[in-house]
Amino acid sequence: MTRALYPGTFDPIHYGHIDVASRASLIFDEVVVAVYDAPPKKLLFTTEERLALATEAFAHLANVRVTTYTGLTVDCARQLQAQVMIRGLRHVTDFEKEYQVGMANRQMASDIELCCLFCSINYAYVSSTIVKEVASLGGDYSYWTPAHVQQALHHKFGQRTTTPLDSNERDPNLSRRG
C-alpha cells in the first residue's frame, strides 16, 4: 500500500487544494492531508478550525484522511509511514519554492519521494491569501471555496451569511472523483 502525505496550512482550504488531493487519491492507495499546526505565519483559522474545514472538504473521498502535525514535515511523513509527499504546483514560483524545499527534504529523508501535481488550470491563480483578502473585502469568492468554507469565512469576517451554491454545483468535476 502506498500512502501519500499532502501537507500544508490550508488557511483556508480551497478548490485548488481539493483538486490536488482528489487527483492524488486516484494515484495512491491513501492520501493523508496534514494540516500544519504551527507555521511561522499569521493564520486566520485555528488548527482545529482548519482541521474541521479540511475534513469536511474530503468527506466524499474514502481514501483521504485529515490530521494535524507539528515539527518537520519529513518527521510527520515518517510517523505516518508515508512513502510519498504531495505538493501542488500552480506556476513557476511554486516550482522554484517546491524544488528548494523538496531537495532539503530529500537530504533529510531520501526514502520519501516527492510528487508534484499541477493544479487544474481553473485554480492556477487561487491561493488562500487571495481567498482571505477577497472574503475580507466582501467580494465573491464562491468559485474558489466549498460552501462550508464560505460560511466559515463569513463568520470570521462578521458578514451576513448568504446561501452559497453547494460545492458540487460550483465544480461538478470535484463530485465525480473518488
pLDDT reported for residue 123: 92
Q: Is the pLDDT of residue 164 over 80?
A: no
The whole-number average pLDDT for the span 115-119 is: 93
Q: Which of 31-35, 107-111, 134-138, 173-177 has the lowest mean pLDDT?
A: 173-177
Contact residues for 151 (Cβ-Cβ < 8 A; gap 6+): 161, 164
Say which of 22, 25, 120, 128 is annotated catalytic.
128
At 98 the pLDDT is 86
pLDDT by residue (tens digit) across 19-31? 999 999 999 999 9
Told to judge if 90 belongs to the known catalytic residues of this protein, a careful annotator would answer: yes
What's residue 174's pLDDT? 53
Q: Of the residues 14, 23, 50, 90, which is catalytic?
A: 90
With cut-offs at 50, 70 and 90, classify the pLDDT of residue 171.
low
All structural domains of the chain, each given as residue ranges with its CATH number in brackets, are 3-126 (3.40.50.620)
Helix and strand totals (H; E) in the chain: 8, 5
Encode 21-32 in three state secondary structure.
HHHHHHHCCEEE
Identify whether 128 is a catalytic site residue. yes
Lowest mean pLDDT among 28-32, 90-94, 103-107: 90-94
Q: What is the pLDDT of residue 107?
A: 92
- The HSE-up count of residue 56 (CA atoms within 13 Å, CB side) is 18
pTM score, two decimals?
A: 0.86
The pLDDT score that the predictor gives to residue 167 is 43
- Active site (annotated) includes residue 22: no
